[in-house]
Structures are given as C-alpha cells and as structure tokens.
Amino acid sequence: MVLTFWEAVERCSTAPRMEEREFNMKIWKTVTALAKEYGFEYDPEVVVPTDGQLADEVFEAGLKAAVELGVYSRDTQRNVRFTEDEIQEFLRAATGKQSGYGEGVDAVEIVHRTPGSTVEPVVYGAPQTAVYSTPEVAYKIYTLCAQEPSTDGIWGGLVIGPPPPIEGKYEINANHPSEIYQYRKEVELMRKAITAVGRPGMFIRQNAPTAQATIALADPEFGVRPTDPMGGNLFEELKIDWNFANRTAFAIAYHTRVRWSAGHAFIGGFSGGPATAPIVIVAGALLGLFFSGADDEHIKEYGVSTRVGKTHNRIKSRAARSCIYVGSLACQALVRNTRLPVCAQGCDHPVAGAGTAQFYYECAAGEIASVASGSSANPSGGARQFVCPTDHVSPLESKWMGEILKASAGMSLERARGIVETLLSRYEDKLEDGYPEGYTFQQMYDVEKEKVKPEFERFYTHMKDELEDLGVRFKERYA
C-alpha cells in the first residue's frame, strides 16, 4: 500500500522541529556531497545531456537525497522524512499513465515516455499567467488557442485591466473577495471558449494564488471539473505548506482524476548550480508523491504523474543554457528509472515578448530539449516570465509551442542537442539585457475578425521554415 496523503500530512505535525534556514542549508550540503560522491560536474558545452548512465546516477543521487532530506513543512516548521521503502512502494504502484484529462471525445491521457519516444506529448495551450485587459480579450485568446489542433487543453491567465475588472473600478488582490470572484469568472470564460469552438470536454487548468480561491473554481457546470487538473504539491525547493496541501485535500474530496507530484529547483539557490539542481528536482518529484493525493485505488484507475521545474535565480527565461540542461537531465533521470509520466517545463516562460524571433527561438529550444528528454506533457503558454505586460501575448505563440511540441516527438537526444545549440547561439546573449519586448494581441491580430495580421503570419511561416532548416519536422495535421 502506498503511503497516503493523510499520513504525510500527519507527519507534518509530528516530525522533528527545524528552522527553515537549517533545512535550506541541509539541502545544499546534501546535494553537494552527493555530487562529489558521484563526480557530477557541469559542462556548459553539453546543453542536452545524452549520457544515460549520468541520468541513472542522478536518479540514484536524487533518491538518496529524498531519503536524507525529506521535505520541510513551513506551517509546522518540521522536517518530514520518508523511507526509501515508502518511496519505492509508490514507484512500484505507478502504472505508466495518467488518465482523466478532460471528458468525452476531448479527453486525453498522458503516458510514460522515454528519450526519443515517438508518442506525442500532451499540450497545455494558452499563455499561463498572462494578464488581460478585458474579458473580451481573454475570451478571444482562449477561443483562438482552444481551436488549435495541436492543443489538448488550455491554461488560464487573469483579467486585471486596466480598467479594473470588477465593475470597471475594483482591482484584484490575493486573499481578498476579488480574488475568488475574478479567478472564478476567468474559468467561466475558459469553459465558454472551449464550448464555443466545439471542444467542450477539453481540460482547462487554472490556479489562483490562494487555496480558497482555487477551491472556489470547482463547479462541474461553469468552472473546474473533476476531469481538470486541480491540486497542489511541493513548492519551491522541497517545501510543503498548507496553501498547497489544502488544494490537494480538496482535489481528493472533489474526486479529481489528475494527481501529481512536483520537483522544482532554483539554479543558484539552495539547489546549487546545474551539477546539483537535477538532484533536488528528482528528490522533489519522489517526495511529492506523498502529497499528490493519489492512493492505491486512484493510481490503479487513473495513474499518477510528476512535474519537474527549474528557475534560474537571475535569468528570467526557462530557456537559459543551464535551465535546459537541468530540466533535461532531471527529466531523463525520472523517465529512465520510474514509470511516472513526467510533465516538464520546456520553456513556458521565455524572456522575449510575443511575435519576436527570440520568443520563437527560446520556446523552441526549451520544448525540443524537454520532449526529446521524455516529457509527456508540457505547458505551451508563452507569457514572459514575471514581467509580461497586459495583453503582451497572442494565440500564435501558443500555436508555435504546440506545433513544436508535437513535432519533437521521436527526436533523439543527439539531434535535439544540435538544434538547441544552434538556437541558443541566436538568443543566448540577449537573455539578461537587450531582449525584445514584443507585441500585444491587438498589434498582432485583427481583433474584430479574430485573424492574425498578415505580417505576423508571414513571420510565423518564416520561423517555421527556419526551424525546418534546422531539422524540425512539423506535422501537417497541426499546421
């Protein structure tokens, strides 16, 4: 029997007390020692690692780190530990699939992939974390994204104005009545959009800052259904807090199908550098299983999956060289050594703005590396990390990422490495300064006709040609 969410939560109240700083330094010391033990070193020349033995050793180190470190419960200030047997029990139970995304003919499932797998990944379309000026703009973007053949589900942003979205004068703040109301209105827009394009069973994904606002999204008719991903898991570097665990508790009660763990590393943070960060991600992916809300019965019926993520402490693009390396290696480590389908962040957040060559390069590099490394599902959003101004997104970028993701299925690590290297050479010097701000939806589209403007369509075609010249084979059915 796998250890349940409730046992994990109970341990958060009974485990030994520890200061957060002590735990953070323990992460650093543990992974540094493990990297030394295994001889892990980062070579910036290797952007997509192709050494399977290295990936296996990273998994081994991640498992050791998981057992030695456990997780930190922020609300109870305790260090919660789990045994290797408990982790292995969960891994033995994993079925290699995660079903229950969406309903009817629009339903999809993700399956365990390995590097080079020809199985196409599931695509979360629409720009996650984007901010929109009006419900009309948000609705049009959701609609245009949802009708893309390469898109399997859509991810929500938030209408924040200007003008202020509630009655034209009230702003949205976290942990405030406006948060519950506006996030709920957002998923209503998303559901309306997928229905309008004839894909009413498509899954939608939305996540509010607080648990209460996320839970308030649940509504089989207008909001989030049990067949939409909904829940929470570990936050940042091996931390759990009630804000996230509360979401999982509700997900269990709401009978959601999709349950996941999450491993995340901050490159330059307590995870250390690229040589040690993959260990932290693997440890998080393993430990997060206990907070996924999946039990034996659930795993048997719907499966369980994991998500891996990485953020650079300074560079605001997930397609920085070290980010790509860390994400690729952690993904390979997990898919080669478990049956968990891995949902990886390729480059859901570039630093360049919509409609620019750098945007397309960054996203392509991140997604190609991720799919070649065995990722089973990727968010294809395309909102600039943290600093995406209002309406600085368009459906064309969601389409780009979807097409790239589907085209990357079957690509070998070696081929991905060559393509990613070339792409990096075209944007790497502009990741911290000099990156283009990009364009707004209104600049890129004839909003009235809901059609991309000819100059941006031509540029899109040009970018596809450029990627094809590098060896990416786009699939006609998604064009």
Partner 1 sequence: MSEESILKKLADSILSFDEEVAKAAAQEALDAGVDPLKALEKGLKVGIDVVGDKFSRDELFLPHLLMAADALNAAVSVLKKNIPREAVEKMRVGTIVIATVKDDIHDVGKNIVSALLSASGFEVHDLGKDVNVALIVDKAVAVDADIIMASALMTTTMRRQKGIIEELEWKGIRDQFLVMVGGGPTTQEWAVEIGADGYGKNAAEAVAVAKKMMENK
Tell me which residue of 250, 277, 231, 209 sits closest to 34, measured CA to CA: 277
In the three-class reduction of DSSP (H, G, I as helix; E, B as strand; rest coil), residue 111 is classed as strand
**Contact between 309 and partner 1 per CB under 8 A:** no
**Contact between 209 and partner 1 per CB under 8 A:** yes
* Residue 370 Cβ vs partner 1, minimum distance, rounded to whole Å: 21
- Between 387 and 426, how does the x/- string for binding to partner 1 read (CB under 8 A)? x---------------------------------------
What secondary structure letter does DSSP report for 383?
P
What are the φ/ψ torsions at residue 401 (nearest 5 degrees)? -65, -35
Q: Which residue's CB is nearer to partner 1, number 240 or number 416?
A: 240
Among 173, 425, 442, 461, binds partner 1 (CB under 8 A): 173
**Contact between 170 and partner 1 per CB under 8 A:** no
- Between 247 and 276, how does the x/- string for binding to partner 1 read (CB under 8 A)? -------------------xxxxxxxx---
Residues numbered 47 to 86 that lie near partner 1 (CB under 8 A) are: 74
* Residue 330 Cβ vs partner 1, minimum distance, rounded to whole Å: 17
Residues numbered 272 to 301 that lie near partner 1 (CB under 8 A) are: 272-273
CA–CA separation, 418 and 41 (whole Å): 21
> Distance between terminal CA atoms of the chain?
46
Tell me which residue of 140, 135, 217 sits closest to 183, measured CA to CA: 217
**How many of the chain's residues bind partner 1 (CB under 8 A)?**
38
Tell me which residue of 205, 202, 209 sits closest to 224, measured CA to CA: 205
CA–CA separation, 204 and 284 (whole Å): 25
- Between 443 and 462, how does the x/- string for binding to partner 1 read (CB under 8 A)? --------------------
* Residue 349 Cβ vs partner 1, minimum distance, rounded to whole Å: 10
Q: What angle do CA 249, 211, 375 make, to 5 degrees?
A: 75
CB count in 10 Å sphere of residue 316: 17
Residue labelled with tokens 């409730």: 6
**Contact between 18 and partner 1 per CB under 8 A:** no
CA–CA separation, 30 and 280 (whole Å): 10
Q: Which residue's CB is nearer to partner 1, number 266 or number 456?
A: 266
The window from 16-24, 106-114, 249-257, 447-455 that contacts partner 1 (CB under 8 A) reads 16-24
DSSP β-ladder status, 239-240 and 71-73: parallel
Calculate the alpha carbon distances from 333 to 63, 330, 349, 355 in Å: 11, 5, 23, 34
Among 95, 134, 337, 385, binds partner 1 (CB under 8 A): 385
**Contact between 212 and partner 1 per CB under 8 A:** no
Q: Which residues bind partner 1 (CB under 8 A)?
A: 20-21, 24-25, 28, 74, 131, 158, 160, 171-175, 179, 209-210, 235-237, 241, 243, 266-273, 311, 313-314, 316, 322, 385-387
